[in-house]
Amino acid sequence: MSDTFVVVGGDAAGMSAASKAKREDPETDVIVFEKGEWVSYAACGMPYYVKGEIDDLDDLVAVTADEFREERNVDLRTGHEVVGIDPEAETVTVEGGGETFEQPYDQLLVATGASAIEPPFDGLDLDGVFTIHDMDEADAVEDYVTERSPDTAAIVGGGYVGIEMAEALSARGADVHLYEMLPHVLQPFGDAVAEVVEEHLREQGVNLHLDTAVSGFDGGGAVERVALEDESHPAEIAIVGVGVAPNAELAADAGIELGETGAVATDEYGRTNYENVYAAGDCAEARHVVTGEPDHVPLALTANRAGRAIGQTVAGDPEPVGEIAGTAIVKAFDLGAARTGIVDEERAREAGFDPVSVSISAPTRAHYYPGGAELTVTLVADRESGELLGGTVVGREGAKRIDTVATALTAGTTVTELRNADLSYAPPFSPVWDPILTAAKVLDGKLDRE
């Protein structure tokens, strides 16, 4: 039971924690400091705002600032930045409303999120060069596209943001060039997914430049060209989406320990090395369900779940934040691609496993039923134990089937057990053997034989 619960950062983790703590223990003073004006917003929806499928940026806000204040009784202070934490004195230093002040806390949650990585490119400050990591930036991109109707767009980075923005800017009429330093897009999804996605991106008219490093942007005031090693291409707008890094400096400066990933180290309750200081969301590590080791996978569900658990814990009813499997899904034009667990064989070996994998393609519906699509499923398992380590799927429908694999990972099942799962079948929904089962069957056979 705490008297004052202070939360630094008003997005998914912070607001989930604040709401839950106040609901569970209305006597607690819950204060949230958010340096911007937007709270509890769906960053994942921003590409669809740019694409034009969502009319109003406000639609991406799950709960408004006023609702937090008036309905949930959270003392939410937007435009207030926490600039220092003193874990010994149990205070934070806050700048906001034209003043700087100290705020004491009994329990503290660091939920400072992550920021888009800005690579050392020339011309990053030209007009028309954007990272997409907050709502104001999404708004700025949409305005820029509406005002200038760019004929050419450069997307730097073939991760989620890059793929989603390729779709968005294509829909807005731009000729899209996507530049990826690595040999494949969507690196965490593995090659089997990447190859299907790349073929589809090309079919959709995206100019893919793999194994291609961008050095910067040129232009007079506004971006006009994207510069590569030996050449340059026209680009009337550029989106840089090369990953995110945890906003962990505030914590680190206060003596709060970071993990090897560079994010704040936490225990199963989201606690840092200070017992009454928690961290959650994109700035914090979480434990991986397959390796049991800390990992940094900044995604929305992890943030929401950890925030909620910490809210409950500070209200006096301790609740673990849960483990992660690194489950992710992304729409690439008409495809869905998804991943969970450990997909990369090298990473599996580093974690002490001896990985065996298979990829199969199978229809999403009975072969005779109209409208199905081909789903490519990859599963990875440990040779000796048969333990399932991870998987991916990609196809025009059925990407949500990754949840079957994620659930199996969470439960720690073997490939044989997954193969024997009694999944649903009717011709409009699946073949008799769901593609996940077919993949498990093939992998199980491979484990048997080797």
Catalytic residues: 44
Output Rg (C-alpha) for the chain, integer angstroms. Answer: 23
Minimum distance, C-beta of residue 5 to a copy of itself, in the bound complex (Å): 21
Smaller CB separation from a copy of itself, 88 or 422 = 422
Taking CB under 8 A as the rule, does residue 408 contact a copy of itself? yes
Cα 358 from Cα 449, distance rounded (Å): 13
Strand pairing report for 4-8 and 29-34: parallel
In contact, 440 and 434? CB cutoff 8 Å = no
Instruction: Give the shortest CB-404-to-a copy of itself separation in angstroms.
Output: 5
Closer of 203 and 317 to a copy of itself (Cβ):
317
CB closer to a copy of itself, 62 vs 181: 62
Q: b or e along 194-223 (b: 16 or more beta carbons within 10 Å of the residue's beta carbon)?
A: bebbbebbeeeebbbbeeeebbbbebeeeb
- Beta carbon of residue 436, minimum distance to a copy of itself (angstroms, whole number): 8
Closest CB 300 distance from a copy of itself, rounded Å: 5
Task: Please check whether residue 210 is in contact with residue 182, taking contact to mean a CB–CB distance below 8 angstroms.
Answer: yes
In whole angstroms, the minimum distance from the beta carbon of 380 to a copy of itself comes to 16
CB 241 within 8 A of CB 131: yes
Structure token pair of residue 115: 């920021």
Residues 267-326 contacting a copy of itself, CB under 8 A: 289, 299-302, 304-305, 320, 322-326
- d(CA 262, CA 369) in angstroms, rounded, equals 50
342 belongs to the binding site for a copy of itself (CB under 8 A): no
**Order of strands across the sheet with 388-395?**
328-332, 335-341, 388-395, 374-382, 355-363
**Contact pick of 245, 351, 366, 373 for a copy of itself (by CB under 8 A):** 366
In the list 124, 182, 373, 423, the residue contacting a copy of itself (rule: CB under 8 A) is 423
Burial letters for 11-42: b for 16+ Cβ neighbours within 10 Å, e otherwise?
A: bbbbbbbbbbbbbbbeebbbbbbbbbebbbbb
User: Is residue 376 close enough to count as binding a copy of itself by CB under 8 A?
Assistant: no
Instruction: Candidates 138, 314, 402, 443: give the one binding a copy of itself (CB under 8 A).
Output: 402
Residue 247 in the binding site for a copy of itself (CB under 8 A): no
d(CA 114, CA 74): 23
Question: Does position 329 bind a copy of itself by CB under 8 A?
Answer: yes
Interaction site with a copy of itself (CB under 8 A): 12, 42, 44-45, 48, 53-54, 59-60, 62, 160, 289, 299-302, 304-305, 320, 322-331, 336, 338, 340, 366-370, 398-404, 406-413, 417-418, 420-430, 432-434, 436-437
